[in-house]
Amino acid sequence: MKIKRILALFTAAILLSGVLLVSAGCTPKADASYIITANGEKYPVEPYLFYLRWMHDYYYAFAQEVADANKQSVNWTKVLASTDLTAPLTLSEYLVSSAKSSYLTYVVVNKVFRELGLSLTQEQWDEVDQIIQKDWVMVYGQDGFNSLRNELHMSWEEFRDLMAVQKKSDAIIQYYYGTGGELEISEEEMKDYFEEKYARFKYIVLMTKDDKDKDLSEEELAQKKETRDTVLARLEEGAAFEDLIREYSEDYVRDTSDLTTAEKESAEKQNTMVTEDGLVTNTDGVFDSALATYYSIKVDTDVVDKVFTIKEGEYTTVEIDDSIWIVKRYSTGEKEEYFESAREDCFSALYASDLNTKFTKWTAELNYAYNDAALTTYAPENLTVLFRFQ
């Protein structure tokens, strides 16, 4: 289940693929047409409902999937009051908190974008339109997409503007930190950061738990440790690490005879990665920003820490909860592509602190207050699911 991936996309205000949104199943008793007042101006509730509704319906679909798997019905009221998925907040509190955060990002980005006198190029607007076409119109059909916007009470221009938030955010970042920006981050700074904060390594992994995540028997575990010792002995004798990966690592796919064509291609890529390039990771264990952001897949902390304690050409071992690792460090400068693959992450890391400070200041300058009538009217407990994930 791709919860982390989808939630990360949502929080970043990037386009939400494959989703149908729902309007609330209730009638406002007070003026719930705006969600906040900021410096005396009322801001419409529709974008906030876009974020809240999306989160609400996603979690409902997830709860329904779990219930179906267990042949049960969904007690949605109970789920909303639970902290199982979102501790320490209840799910209801989490949905509201997340929607507020995304909405404020939307408001601040648009405000700063205007104040800086920025604009999107025609090419950038074309990219926004292409994403809408691909992720919305092609999924739901033109009539379905129009109905969706009607449910959201959003015109085409309003919907398009909402989908352009990420482009506008990127423009603000480039204004301050890009080439020629007020606080330009140079190529040299990024490369220095890469050299300091990244390491490349290859590894041999031996699993100490079975496919059901249960500990191996003492005898099986002893065999794994014996294999580790054999690998270390052969390394001492001068064996090539890559040859030992092919022979011993459980991440190396040896038998592909029963795999489909697609699976064989994936296995070949996996084998090439572990034997040729290895992993290029930062100190947080991020070797692929998409995998880390969308799936929370990173190198285990103990493994990363161990890698950063050795020099290029050296090897060592580390045992974690479910496996034994033998790691060898390699040069990150062997190929330019290693830096290029981490360029955007290095860039982001270098501006993150300053941008967060700016964003906090910009948000405070809104002098905003939430409209309790809207928060009450559109509380998660009052929303009904009219559309489902596909």
The tens digit of pLDDT for each residue in 221-254 reads: 999 999 999 999 999 999 999 999 999 999 999 9
pLDDT tens digits, residue range 115-141? 999 999 999 999 999 999 998 899 888
- Domain of 238? 190-335
Do residue 144 and residue 35 come from a single domain? yes
Question: For residue 390, is it within any domain?
Answer: no
Average pLDDT over residues 84-102: 95
Number of domains the chain contains: 2
pLDDT of residue 386: 56
ω into 47 cis (within 30 of 0): no
pLDDT tens digits, residue range 143-193? 988 988 888 899 999 999 999 999 999 999 999 999 999 999 999 999 999
Do residue 276 and residue 299 come from a single domain? yes
Do residue 301 and residue 241 come from a single domain? yes
Question: For residue 389, is it within any domain?
Answer: no
Whole-prediction pTM: 0.81
106 is written with which tokens? 């939307």
Do residue 166 and residue 90 come from a single domain? yes
Give 8's pLDDT tier (boundaries 50, 70, 90): very low
Which regions of the chain does DSSP assign to beta strands (E)? 34-38, 41-44, 198-207, 279-282, 315-319, 323-330, 368-370
Task: Write phi, then psi, for 201 (nearest 5 degrees).
Answer: -150, 155
Do residue 224 and residue 168 come from a single domain? no
107 is written with which tokens? 């408001």
Do residue 151 and residue 244 come from a single domain? no
HSE-up of residue 116 (Cα within 13 Å, Cβ side): 20
Task: For 35-62, give the DSSP string.
Answer: EEEETTEEEESHHHHHHHHHHHHHHHHH
Average pLDDT over residues 255-273: 92
pLDDT tens digits, residue range 15-62? 333 333 333 444 445 799 999 999 999 999 999 999 998 899 889 999
* pLDDT above 90: residue 10: no
How large a percentage of the chain has pLDDT more than 70?
A: 91
pLDDT of residue 360: 97
* pLDDT above 80: residue 73: yes
Mean pLDDT score across all residues of the chain? 90
Give me the sheet containing 368-370, strands edge to edge. Answer: 41-44, 34-38, 368-370
Question: For residue 344, is it within any domain?
Answer: no
Q: Residue written as tokens 């300091």?
A: 196
CA angle 111, 19, 382 (to 5 degrees): 80
Q: Could you tell me the CATH number of the domain that includes residue 319?
A: 3.10.50.40
Q: How far is residue 174's CA from residue 168's CA, in Å, rounded to a whole number?
A: 10
